[in-house]
Structure 1
Amino acid sequence: MSPSRPLFKRSLLAQALARDVAGESFVDYSSGLFLAAPRRTGKSTFLNNDFIPECENRGWLAVYVDLWAARDSDPAQLISGAIGAALARFENPVSKAAKKAGVEKISLLRTLSWDFSKPQLPSGTTLAKALEVLHSISGKMIVLIVDEAQHALNSESGLNAMFALKAARDHLNRGLQPDGIRLVFTGSSRDKLANLVLKSKQPFFGANITSFPLLGHDFVEFATHLWNKRLADSNQFSADDMEYAFERVGRRPEMLNQLLTEVSVGRGEASNLGELLRTGALNHQAGIWSDYESACNDLSALQLAVLNVMAERTIGKQAFAPFAEQTFEDVNRKLEQAHAEPNASTPNVQKALDALRDKELVWKANRGEYALEDCAMAQWLTRVNKAD
Structure 2
Amino acid sequence: MKTVENLKRRYADFQALDAKDKRNYWKEFALNNALYVLIIIAIIYTAVQNPNFTTPASIVNIISLSAANIPIAVGIAGCIVLTGTDLSAGRVVGLTACIAAALLQAADYPTKIFPELGVVPIPLVILVVVAVGAVVGLVNGFFVAHFKLHPFIVTLATQLIVYGVLLMFIMINGNNGQPLSGLDQSFKDFVTGSVIKISGVPIPNYVWYACFIVALMWFIWNKTAFGKNMFAVGSNPEAANVSGVNVAKTIILVHTLAGAMYAITGFIESARIGSNQANTGLNYECDAIAACVIGGVSFVGGTGKIRGVVMGVFILRIIFVALQFLAINQSLQYVIKGLIILVACAIDMRKYLVRK
In the superposition, the TM-score normalised over structure 2's length comes to 0.27
Larger radius of gyration: 1
Which is helix-richer, 1 or 2? 2
| Higher share in strand | 1
TM-score by length of 1: 0.25
| Greater RCO structure (CA 8 Å; 6+ sep) | 2
